[in-house]
């Protein structure tokens, strides 16, 4: 039976819940919902609407209040939950949450942004290199992986509304795009591109200049699958009508 996985950077779960996030979740009845940028500790969140939908929930929150964080909601209880990647500088920011189901694993990830300046851009590059190496070690133990979340990189010119004017923008820098090319040529498949090789859809829009209404966006949220799962992907789409955040959800159906 096909499995539905939704990945969504909610830019603050409490704010999104105030915009009826879980009414929207109820309407889509996904098996697993992965949220990024939760900006909350679990004790700050009302679990009642989550519990009412039958989801078990797992959290990796940042040490810093109101910052970063990921949470995974699953209707099926995982066999194993692993919080973080064992590298303190990333784990203190609440960026990676792994759930194992049978012979496959799901990683809910929130990659760093480099938009606030050179220091964070350097941190982002460190994360990309460390994450790549860490994942390739994990893949030896868990060869079937699904890695969803906000990667904070638009890979190709088809993934950004104005490639020419964004050549020097964090999130579309040549080094970041080269990392994505390396990622997708070393055992991972972009699930959206597997189904829609040339389609233009976006997952994030700036709050400035009426960008979302004019669909001047970036595709920076991904569902990556190991190549041994790529033929299992049935459909992927961006749910642009969901407006709880400056991102929209990425919906995937996969037959595992």
Instruction: Indicate the SS3 state at residue 94.
Output: coil
b/e code 68-79 from CB counts within 10 Å (16+ = b): bbbbbbbeeebe
User: What ranges make up the beta strands (E) of the chain?
Assistant: 3-9, 32-36, 56-60, 70-74, 80-83, 96-101, 104-110, 144-150, 188-190, 204-205, 217-218, 221-226, 233-238, 250-254
The pair of three-digit structure tokens given for residue 85, joined into one six-digit string: 């990647």
Which candidate in 23, 29, 150, 221 is catalytic? Answer: 150
Please give the order of strands across the beta sheet that includes 104-110: 80-83, 96-101, 104-110, 144-150, 221-226, 188-190
Active-site residue flag, 231: no
Decide: 72 and 58 in contact? Cβ < 8 Å. Answer: yes
What whole-number distance in Å separates Cα of residue 70 and Cα of residue 62?
9
| 184 vs 198: CA distance, rounded Å | 16
Q: How many CA atoms lie within 13 A of 76 on its CB side?
A: 14
Query: Any residues with CB less than 8 A from the CB of 181 and at least 6 apart, and which?
Result: 155
CA pair distance 56, 127, nearest whole angstrom: 29
Active site residues: 150
């Amino acid at each position: 039976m096909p499995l539905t996985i939704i990945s969504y950077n909610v830019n603050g779960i409490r704010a999104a819940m105030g915009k009826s996030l879980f009414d929207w979740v109820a309407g889509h009845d996904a098996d697993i919902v992965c949220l990024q940028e939760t900006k909350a500790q679990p004790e700050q969140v009302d679990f009642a609407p989550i519990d009412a939908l039958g989801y078990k929930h797992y959290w990796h929150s940042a040490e810093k209040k109101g910052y970063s964080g990921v949470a995974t909601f699953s209707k099926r209880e995982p066999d194993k939950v692993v919080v973080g990647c064992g590298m303190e500088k990333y784990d203190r920011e609440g960026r990676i949450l792994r759930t194992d189901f049978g012979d496959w694993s799901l990683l809910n990830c929130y990659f760093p942004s480099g938009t606030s300046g050179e220091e964070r851009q350097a941190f982002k590059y460190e994360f990309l290199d460390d994450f790549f190496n860490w994942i390739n070690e994990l893949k030896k133990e868990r060869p079937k992986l699904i890695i969803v979340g906000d990667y904070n990189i638009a890979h190709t010119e088809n993934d950004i509304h104005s490639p020419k004017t964004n050549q020097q923008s964090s999130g579309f820098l040549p080094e970041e795009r080269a990392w994505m090319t390396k990622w997708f040529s070393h055992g991972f498949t972009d699930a959206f591109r597997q189904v829609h090789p040339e389609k233009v859809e976006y997952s994030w829009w700036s709050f400035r200049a009426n960008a979302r209404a004019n669909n001047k966006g970036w595709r920076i949220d991904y569902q990556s699958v190991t190549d041994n799962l790529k033929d299992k992907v049935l459909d992927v789409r961006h749910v642009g009508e969901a407006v709880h955040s400056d991102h929209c959800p990425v919906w995937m159906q996969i037959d595992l």
